[in-house]
Amino acid sequence: MSDVSVIGVGDMGSAIARTLLAAGLAVTVWNRSDAKVRPLVERGATAAVSARAAIEASPAALLCVSDYPATMALLEGTTRALHGRLIVQFASGTPAQARALETKIRQAGGRYLDGAIGAWPRQVGSPDASFTLAGNADDFAAARPLLDLMGGQLAHVGPDVGHAKAYANAGLAYFAGHWIGFAQGAAVLETEGLDPAMLGDTLASMGPILATDMQRMGRAIAAEAFDEAESTVKTIAGDLRWLAELADATGAEAEFARLAAALFARARDLGLGDKQHSAIIKVLRGPLAAPVPPS
């Protein structure tokens, strides 16, 4: 048997497989496309003829396919192969999908961890990578020597396998706004003949300030304490109105700016105008949602 199998060797799966091979592990790989397997075989990996064969080849398998439906399809007919194996899933999806997959694997006698990767493929194996895992503590302890080889920070967020994907989607919400917001700002600069690269340099220099702001927002939301405001909902609502107007006037796509302005205007109109900007959570929760106390 090999030490570990990697199923799905696209950019991320290949990066993981290369890192484990470099650490001296015997690695079995499988992918729908043989072309993606060949470079890993040239580095010393063993190619499996099927996903089932890959699972049977190792005591642990890391799954890096696109999503949970794809994973479920791959696992059809592998019930006997799953018995006694530790499966670590890194696909994108929802907490409910993670819990459903855990049920399937445990019913087959397997062990399961659900994971999220906070890294670009080039960062796997380096201190810059981060991995969030959820699931049974004993399963995490069993997988930890393998996961530690992948570099960076490793966090276990508890026994509920859905919680890794909760954190992953929470991070995605932030990064989606980050990517769109940066591109919106770059579009504004371009209309004035300015260099968007300067925006990247300026915001990068503000890293410590932005990090502190994120920590303050998290604590304020957790405590429902929005009174200590260095910037208020009312002020931001007004500023975003001008951003939307500028985007419209220059012919740039203004949908993101209008959405942001509308959300903060709603928060202001709900009586939150003098509150800290993180009070926007009261709009984003929706009328029927209520915060669940952290466990």
Q: In tens digits, what is the pLDDT along the chain, a chain of 295 residues?
A: 899 999 999 999 999 999 999 999 999 999 998 899 999 999 999 999 999 999 999 999 999 999 999 999 999 888 899 999 999 999 999 999 999 999 999 999 999 999 999 999 999 999 999 999 999 999 999 999 999 999 899 999 999 999 999 999 999 999 999 999 999 999 999 999 999 999 999 999 999 999 999 999 999 999 999 998 888 999 999 999 999 999 888 888 889 999 999 999 999 999 999 999 999 999 999 765 556 666 5
What's the structural domain count of the chain?
A: 2
Question: Is 184 domain-assigned?
Answer: no
With respect to residue 194, please indicate whether it lies within any of the assigned structural domains.
Answer: no
Q: Which residues pair with 116 in a beta bridge?
A: 132
Q: Looking at the structure, do residues 215 and 156 belong to the same domain, yes or no? A: no
Same domain, 14 and 131: yes
Same domain, 151 and 18: yes
Q: Show which of 134, 165, 196 is a domain's final residue.
A: 165
Residue range(s) defining the domain that contains residue 57: 4-165
User: CA-to-CA distance for 38 and 35, rounded, in angstroms?
Assistant: 6
CB neighbour list of residue 243: distance below 8 Å, 6 or more residues apart: 184, 188, 257, 260, 261
Q: Is residue 294 part of a domain?
A: no
- Residues 45, 152, single domain; the answer is yes
DSSP-based three-state secondary structure for 261: helix
Q: Are 160 and 219 found together in one domain?
A: no
Q: Which of 41, 33, 42, 43 is nearest to 10 (CA)?
A: 33
CATH (domain of 258): 1.10.1040.10
User: Which tokens hold the place of 158?
Assistant: 């508890």
196 lies in some domain: no
173 within domain boundaries: no
Question: Are 32 and 140 members of one domain?
Answer: yes
245 and 128, same structural domain? no
> Do the domain assignments include residue 183?
no
Evaluate whether residue 201 is within a structural domain.
Answer: no
CATH number at residue 102: 3.40.50.720
Residues 217 and 153 in one domain: no
Alpha helices, H only, the chain: 11-22, 34-42, 51-57, 68-75, 79-82, 95-107, 137-148, 162-191, 196-205, 207-223, 233-250, 255-267, 281-284
Within a domain: 61: yes
Shared domain for 52 and 121, answered yes or no, is yes
